[in-house]
Amino acid sequence: MQNKTVLRIAVQKSGRLYEDSVKLLKECGIDLRNVKDRLKTVSENFPLEVFFLRDDDIPEYVEDGVADIGIVGQNVLGEKGRQVKLVESLGFGKCRLSIAIPKNMEYDGVSTLQGKRIATSYPTLVKDFLSKHNVQASIHEISGSVEIAPGIGLADVVADLVSSGGTLFMNGLKEVETILDSQAVLVSNNKLDQERMAILEKLLFRIRSVKRANKSKYVLLNAPNDQLEKIISLLPGMRSPTVLPLAESGWSSVHCVLSEEEFWDKIEQLKAAGAEGILVVPIEKMIL
Ligand code: PRT
Ligand code: ZN
């Protein structure tokens, strides 16, 4: 029997990227059953095999071609320095790698770090940052709980991932420099064969449709006809808004798509222009 080609994707086995990675694949219409506590699983309705791995190992597996593609944070990708292709930013797992110092330490720019001991799990990225700024400091690589290092006398300052800033605050630290802004990205092996490339293209088409949809809302509103022109002028649209007459004369129903960034501003402007009965509906997929 001929083996059917599948695309092998590496995702984090458990941790901060796991749920969003699996959710994204499911939103792409890819059936994944029994993903809990499995090392790998094959989709029944899309030629995709999923490997569940530690995030640190994903760049290497993709570079070596053990997996064809992978989902990993840019922080891990930058640190590992593996030769893989960045295919798409995925918009989740957002954080930054920052330098943080004890909150009562004076800070006068990057040169303040000269001669300091820096605790981090990202020695390569920190070393690059320091040499770019001509600063010499000693780097102490530790694999977890970096934020406690200054408090126990292991280091003077830290370079760690930050999202809300709560962990730094609780440990009496303040953020002073951003080394890298990061989010989860899709990476691929540099030498995918044609068949696997074709599957990747299909997957990417779906991922982009889901991303677009997640960033947009479908809005339905009622508009008095004498305000219609003004209301329409406020709206963007895939082409232009849909306008339908309402049963009550003098009124129309207007349908359009709004992006998340402009959403609240637009709603306020629409209300001010006389729009009523505004309904906002999530969009599942958006195909252009
Ligand atoms: O077991 P495995 O090796 O796979 O997982 P891991 O423990 O190495 O990684 P995990 O699951 O903690 O994180 C996976 C990825 O999520 C990271 O590589 C980042 O790309 C991304 N990410 C996003 C984060 C954060 N946000 C984050 N806040 N990773 C870690 N943190 C930690 C940070 O290290 C610090 O301890 O959260 C704390 C800070 O959070 P705030 O909100 O208090 O600032
Ligand atoms: Zn890890």
Quick: pLDDT tens for 230-277: 999 998 766 678 999 999 999 999 999 999 888 899 999 999 999 999
Confidence check: pLDDT of 288 > 90 = no
Residue 27 burial (C-beta neighbours within 10 Å; 0-12, 13-18, 19+)? middle
For residue 187, give the 3-state DSSP assignment. strand
Per DSSP, the residues of 30-68 read ------TT-SEEE-SSSSEEEEEE-GGGHHHHHHHTSSS
pLDDT of residue 35: 75
At 237 the pLDDT is 63
**Which residue's CA is the closest to the ligand 1 atom numbered 23?**
93
Q: Is the pLDDT of residue 55 over 90?
A: yes
Q: How confident is the model at residue 135 (pLDDT cuts 50, 70, 90)?
A: very high
Strand order in the sheet with 40-42: 40-42, 48-53, 7-12, 69-73, 184-188, 85-89
The model's confidence at residue 38, banded by pLDDT at 50, 70 and 90, is confident
Boundaries of every domain in the chain? 7-93+184-213, 95-182, 216-282
Nearest CA owner, ligand 1 atom 6: 15
d(CA 78, CA 81): 5
Q: Which ligand is nearest to the CA of 160?
A: 1
Confidence of residue 189 (pLDDT cuts 50, 70, 90): very high
Residue 192: both structure tokens together: 């995918």
Contact (CB, 8 A) for 139 and 127: yes
Element (H or E) spanning 208, and its range?
helix 194-214
Strand partners of residue 160: 98
203 alpha carbon – ligand 2 mean position (Å): 25
The per-residue pLDDT for 3 is: 75
- The protein residue whose alpha carbon is closest to atom 21 in ligand 1 is 93
Looking at 81-190, which runs of residues are DSSP E strands? Answer: 85-89, 95-102, 117-120, 138-141, 157-162, 173-182, 184-188
- Mean pLDDT computed over 36-65: 95
Nearest partner of 268 among 234, 225, 244, judged by Cα: 234
Helix (H, G, I), strand (E, B) or coil at 16: coil
Q: For residue 4, give the DSSP letter.
A: P
161 CB within 6 A, ligand 1 = yes
Question: Identical fold at 7-93+184-213 and 216-282?
Answer: no
> Which residues fall inside 5 Å of ion ligand 2, going by CB?
55-56
- Alpha carbons 254 and 231: distance in angstroms, whole number: 9
Looking at the domain 95-182, which fold is it?
D-Maltodextrin-Binding Protein; domain 2 (3.40.190)
Q: Measured from the CB, is residue 162 less than 6 Å from ligand 1?
A: yes
pLDDT at position 226 is 96
Share of the chain above pLDDT 90, in %: 90
φ/ψ of 72, rounded to 5, equals: -155, 155
Q: What is the pLDDT of residues 3-26, one digit of tens each?
A: 789 999 999 999 999 999 999 999
Residue 144 contacts residue 119 (beta carbons within 8 Å): no
Q: Are strands 69-73 and 184-188 parallel, antiparallel or unpaired?
A: antiparallel
Domain 7-93+184-213, what fold? D-Maltodextrin-Binding Protein; domain 2 (3.40.190)
Q: Reduce the DSSP state of residue 275 to 3 states and report it.
A: coil
* Two structure tokens written together for 124: 């390569």
Q: Are 48 and 90 in contact (CB under 8 A)?
A: no
Q: pLDDT at residue 2 above 70?
A: no
Q: What dotted CATH number matches 216-282?
A: 3.30.70.120
